[in-house]
Structure 1
Amino acid sequence: MAYTLTHSLSHVLASLASLIIMISSFTILKFLSPFFIKNKKSHKIPKLPPGPKPWPIVGLLPEMLTNKPVFRWIHKVMEEMNTEIACFRIGNVHVIPVTCPKLACEFLRKHDADFATRPLSMATETATNGYLTTALTPFGEQWRKMKKIVANDLLSQQKHQWLQDKRDQESNNLVFQVYNKCIKNNNNNNNNNNVNKDNCFGLVNVRSVARHYCSNVAKRLIFNIRHFGEGGIDGGPSFEDEEHLISGTFKLLKYINAFCVTDYMPCLKGLYDFDGHESEIKEAMRIMNKYHDPIIEERIKQWNDGLRSEQEDFLDVLINLKDSNNAPLLTPMEIKSQIIELMMAAIDNPSNAVEWALAEMVNQPELLQKAIAELDRVIGRDRMVEESDIPKLNYIKACAREAFRLHPIVPFNVPHVSIKNTIIGNYLIPKGSHILLSRQGLGRNPKVWKEPHKFKPERHIKSDGDDVVLAEPNLRFMSFSTGRRGCPGVMLGTTMTVMLFARLLHGFHWSAPPNVSSINLAECNDNLLLAKPLVAMAKPRLALELYQLI
């Protein structure tokens, strides 16, 4: 009987053990099954875009430091890999350059909300005084506030019309300045100082003239002034204007989205200025503040003391914005920061496009003749070009579009950052990736453009005769960005570009300098500018009385 009980007990214990093992097995399987399913599904998750294999921790930072300029290295690698989207892991950041318009539209149109923020960087933080502005500020309440102000209170159609007379003054000053360069040559060859049209011509640095025109327009709209300091009697810039433009504005533009070591390895921030960017940015900001701050602070004081009652410019508008409690909507630092950003945004794109377009057209005189024929047909020779003429100048705008396409001012747009993991073109774009739409890659893409490296304005003329516009919503090239972070200044940018270009072409004959057969169209190695500023021969082509009237 003892044997029977022992046997029965052993059987029960064995059964119990089997039951426990079975329950445990099912429990473990249940626990692990999501892992197996996840692993099974993980094989279907898209891979990162193709790119060079990164080093541990530092990624491709060594390659970035040894392959300058970085944008040419990136484009060379993409060309060698035959890809229109790539992934360069630099430090702990996935940098995703794109040269395909279709993919670009996926980023900025289809998935725009997922890429609506900006990266944090040393340069942008410094230039915006801690992200107080619009274009460079990450997605959030401050960006929403400032974007609404810029779009509705500064760059609306109503404000555009309100400030037309200030833009007209600078269009006239542009012609006056170039004409005076021609007169100077005439006077040097004519002891009586009588204007002889045969001797009335001069060499003009088009880059300088174009940049100062854009800077003057910006200063007129923002501060209602033309010069910092005393301007030249010929309408040209002062020393202060040169310093503000070259050592301030364009220095900021050079470094604002440069590839800075500490942006990709934040642990190094504050230890050392590895590439010298920090000192350059701080010096540029010092110069900008030197010229802007006294004007802004004095203007705020005038309004507070009741010494000013009528708004004349953007600065007055910004000072007088009120919140729901009728208190100032913007702090002085917000005003100062936004004005610096407006100054940067207004100057580089129009001046670069016009310089390149004129250089290309001097080398192709038949294009120059087509543009002049359109201007003479629409405007004639008895008056100057006006802003109201812009809708009728389709060939002029086609030439400007072609310059934006072939000769963008910078290699990449302002970076967008992914706020979550996103699938674009069957590739995984990880959260936190920096998206760089390649302006030169899009505009020179041979799958999109025939003869992509040839300057052909006719490609932009519509067969149905519709109005030619400078914006390109399908991102086959980039003049003004689109989407949530799109440029709110399309109207102003278009007006400045066309007026600058049309006034130069309508007012003067242009040719290569003496003893020069053609303009050298070589590109800078470090950027996309003409390697040498365009210097061309200008000669008045309208009645001399018109120039003297302005």
Structure 2
Amino acid sequence: MLQRKRLPPSPWGLPLIGHLHLLDRMIHQSLQKLSNKFGDVMFLRLGMVPAVIISSPAMAKEVLKTHDLIFSSRPFVLVGQYVSYNFKGLALASGDHWKNVRKICTTELFTVKRIDSFLWVRVEELCYLISSLAKAPKGVDMREHLTVLTFNITSRILMSKRFFGENLVGEDLTDAKTFKEVMHEVAEIGLQFHIGQFVPDWLRWIDWSIPRVKRIFAKEDKFFEKVITEHKKSGGSRPQPDFTDILLQHYKDEEVVKGTLMEILIAGMDTSACTVEWALLELVHNPEVMKKAQEELDVVVGRNRMVTETDFSKLTYLEAVIKETLRLHPPVPILVPHMSNKACVLAGFDVPKGATTIINFYSISRDPNVWEHPTKFWPERFGQITADVKGQDFELIPFGAGRRMCPGMSLGLKTVHLVLSNLLHSFHWERVPGESYNLDEGVGSVTWPKSPLQAQLTPRLRNLDVIFNFAQ
């Protein structure tokens, strides 16, 4: 048995609950404060579960690269049991099942060729968005528009179906609105700490959040049951099978299909929309940064066409804006937890087998030893450093790194680039008079701005309707 003295530094805990009393609802901020006192590798006891908290690039590299295989498992997460159909999806699964599902996702959905084949979907939904914003009254709620956009993109890629739009009515729209609310609820509670995760199996019934999770699951299952029934009735009549068809071909267990679709839909909808909203909010707060980004767009793209993916490599300042947004406002500030599948040593400390391992990217991304002016929105910093978000630079890992890195990163980045660049290119963005603006964070596993961005938009491009084909 490992000796206490070899565990990482730790605050004083209490019987039974351990250190849970030290954490508030903003878990990433609570962990940051504790790591400032106890170091980059910290030991906590969350109820009856040992946990190791990682808060520096060097230690994140140890976990996600040097000891990647050891930390490739997942701990018990409450929503995984219900929302992911007893861990049958992708993100929260472990072992051979996770490897099999990931292989299908990476070869059938997230390849460069496959992502490029859905460019027309991203562009079409972008055109719908620009058209909607051009017709909207002053004081646009950007969160609602952005989540509809990303939901439609993801649902069309996964199941060949568009659920939201001016001409869409009836039962499908009602179901989609209900399911979109379900996904927001899951994103809110998914990676939050629940008492059922920190007690033995036989005590999980005491968790007061389980009834809510079960209600969410019932609505989710009803939605996916309808999707799968429709796909089976179509009998593969689509010219090209969509991802739901492909999953049904590989798995007789429909729960695997439902769990995988649910996880990809949540990741595809909330994280991309959240990143764009934070970027726009910071640009409204920093008009000089917005001016630079729009001047670059005018030079590279001009005023007579939309921004396309071929422009991205030339839009270096816009890329810096996106990197800075992901650094300062990561949509998921605490990476999906890992778990050690055997004992190992980190920085001279013993990590026991089965320890929940939490990488607090929020601490890393705001570490003054890593970042100059860490709380300032300053895209220019990326003209001086070469850090990228693709999992090789451990000071900037909003998508994680290693074998459990987010497989949808490329699709997410392409969506964020396309949407943000065209929104900045198409409109002048101003505050709505009388509206309160701040940069406070909301509570949830996906960290949205506390208040949805309300913006006043006026067109920058004279022939906006022609460029974005409003008549489609």
TM over 0.5: yes
- Out of 140, 152, 158, the position equivalent to 1:222 is 158
Describe the superposition over 1:171-209 as per-residue Cα deviations: whole angstroms up to 9, x where unpaired.
11121121121xxx4xxxxxxxxxxxxxxxx22112222
2 CA distance for matches of 1:58 and 1:272?
A: 14
- Out of 231, 243, 249, the position equivalent to 1:314 is 243
2 CA distance for matches of 1:404 and 1:330?
A: 38
Amino acid at match of 2:233: K
1:102 and 2:29 are equivalent in the alignment:
no
2 CA distance for matches of 1:412 and 1:548?
A: 37
Asked if the contact 2:339–2:356 (Cα under 8 Å) also holds between the matched residues in 1, the reply is yes
1:256 and 2:190 are equivalent in the alignment:
yes
1:85 and 2:41 are equivalent in the alignment:
yes
2 CA distance for matches of 1:270 and 1:373?
A: 56
Asked if the contact 2:429–2:457 (Cα under 8 Å) also holds between the matched residues in 1, the reply is yes
1 CA distance for matches of 2:297 and 2:419?
A: 13
Q: What residue is the counterpart of 1:33 in the other structure?
A: none
Asked if the contact 2:79–2:190 (Cα under 8 Å) also holds between the matched residues in 1, the reply is yes
Q: CA deviation at 1:499?
A: 1.0
Matching of residues 38-77 of structure 1 within 5 Å: 47-63=6-22, 67-77=24-34
1:397 and 2:353 are equivalent in the alignment:
no
Asked if the contact 1:46–1:428 (Cα under 8 Å) also holds between the matched residues in 2, the reply is no
Secondary structure in structure 1 of the residue aligned to 2:50: strand
2 CA distance for matches of 1:434 and 1:413?
A: 12
Q: CA deviation at 1:125?
A: 1.6
Moved more, 258-267 or 49-58: 49-58
Q: 1:364 to 1:143 in 2, by over 3 A?
A: same
1:157 and 2:112 are equivalent in the alignment:
yes
1 CA distance for matches of 2:443 and 2:466?
A: 41
Q: 1:400 to 1:234 in 2, by over 3 A?
A: farther
2 CA distance for matches of 1:46 and 1:116?
A: 26
2 CA distance for matches of 1:176 and 1:151?
A: 33
Q: 1:312 to 1:372 in 2, by over 3 A?
A: farther
Q: CA deviation at 1:407?
A: 0.8
Describe the superposition over 1:57-88 as per-residue Cα deviations: whole angstroms up to 9, x where unpaired.
44234555xx4444433333333x25222111
Q: What residue is the counterpart of 1:487 in the other structure?
A: 406
- Out of 272, 279, 282, the position equivalent to 1:350 is 272
Matching of residues 464-503 of structure 1 within 5 Å: 470-503=389-422
Q: 1:148 to 1:330 in 2, by over 3 A?
A: farther
Asked if the contact 1:46–1:426 (Cα under 8 Å) also holds between the matched residues in 2, the reply is no
Q: CA deviation at 1:270?
A: 4.7
1:122 and 2:75 are equivalent in the alignment:
no
Specify every segment of 5 or more residues in structure 2 that has no aligned partner in the other structure, as ranges. Answer: none
Q: What residue is the counterpart of 2:205 in the other structure?
A: 271
1:144 and 2:99 are equivalent in the alignment:
yes
Amino acid at match of 1:174: L
Q: What residue is the counterpart of 1:535 in the other structure?
A: 454
Q: What residue is the counterpart of 2:132 in the other structure?
A: 177
Secondary structure in structure 2 of the residue aligned to 1:397: helix
2 CA distance for matches of 1:399 and 1:62?
A: 37
Describe the superposition over 1:111-157 as per-residue Cα deviations: whole angstroms up to 9, x where unpaired.
1111000012322121221221221102x111111010001111111
Aligned residues: 466
Structure 1 stretches of 4+ with a deviation exceeding 6 A read: none
Asked if the contact 2:333–2:398 (Cα under 8 Å) also holds between the matched residues in 1, the reply is no
Asked if the contact 2:389–2:397 (Cα under 8 Å) also holds between the matched residues in 1, the reply is no
- Out of 278, 282, 290, the position equivalent to 2:214 is 282
2 CA distance for matches of 1:203 and 1:443?
A: 32
Q: What residue is the counterpart of 1:232 in the other structure?
A: 166
Describe the superposition over 1:14-37 as per-residue Cα deviations: whole angstroms up to 9, x where unpaired.
xxxxxxxxxxxxxxxxxxxxxxxx
- With normalisation by structure 2, the TM-score equals 0.91
1 CA distance for matches of 2:433 and 2:16?
A: 57
Matching of residues 7-46 of structure 1 within 5 Å: none
Q: 1:447 to 1:333 in 2, by over 3 A?
A: same
Q: CA deviation at 1:313?
A: 2.4
2 CA distance for matches of 1:309 and 1:530?
A: 40
Q: What residue is the counterpart of 1:6 in the other structure?
A: none
Describe the superposition over 1:337-367 as per-residue Cα deviations: whole angstroms up to 9, x where unpaired.
2111110111222211111111111121111
Matching of residues 370-409 of structure 1 within 5 Å: 370-409=292-331
Asked if the contact 1:362–1:519 (Cα under 8 Å) also holds between the matched residues in 2, the reply is no
Q: What residue is the counterpart of 2:442 in the other structure?
A: 524
Moved more, 142-151 or 211-220: 211-220
Secondary structure in structure 2 of the residue aligned to 1:538: strand
Q: 1:63 to 1:369 in 2, by over 3 A?
A: closer
Q: CA deviation at 1:444?
A: 0.5
Amino acid at match of 2:184: F
Q: CA deviation at 1:287?
A: 2.3
Q: CA deviation at 1:495?
A: 0.5
- Out of 120, 141, 150, the position equivalent to 1:205 is 141
Q: 1:147 to 1:451 in 2, by over 3 A?
A: same
Secondary structure in structure 2 of the residue aligned to 1:86: strand
2 CA distance for matches of 1:367 and 1:69?
A: 29
- Out of 322, 328, 341, the position equivalent to 2:263 is 341
Q: CA deviation at 1:302?
A: 2.5
Q: What residue is the counterpart of 1:166 in the other structure?
A: 121
2 CA distance for matches of 1:547 and 1:179?
A: 12
Q: CA deviation at 1:46?
A: 6.8
2 CA distance for matches of 1:318 and 1:117?
A: 23
Q: CA deviation at 1:267?
A: 4.7
Q: CA deviation at 1:462?
A: 5.5
2 CA distance for matches of 1:267 and 1:162?
A: 45
Asked if the contact 2:326–2:398 (Cα under 8 Å) also holds between the matched residues in 1, the reply is yes
Secondary structure in structure 1 of the residue aligned to 2:223: helix
User: Identity of aligned pairs, percent?
Assistant: 28
Higher relative contact order (CA 8 A, sep 6+): 2
Report the structure number with the largest CA radius of gyration. 1
Q: CA deviation at 1:308?
A: 1.4
Secondary structure in structure 1 of the residue aligned to 2:322: helix
Q: What residue is the counterpart of 1:17 in the other structure?
A: none
Amino acid at match of 2:469: L
- With normalisation by structure 1, the TM-score equals 0.79
Specify every segment of 5 or more residues in structure 1 that has no aligned partner in the other structure, as ranges. Answer: 1-37, 186-201, 322-328
Q: CA deviation at 1:288?
A: 2.3
1 CA distance for matches of 2:294 and 2:312?
A: 14
2 CA distance for matches of 1:239 and 1:426?
A: 56
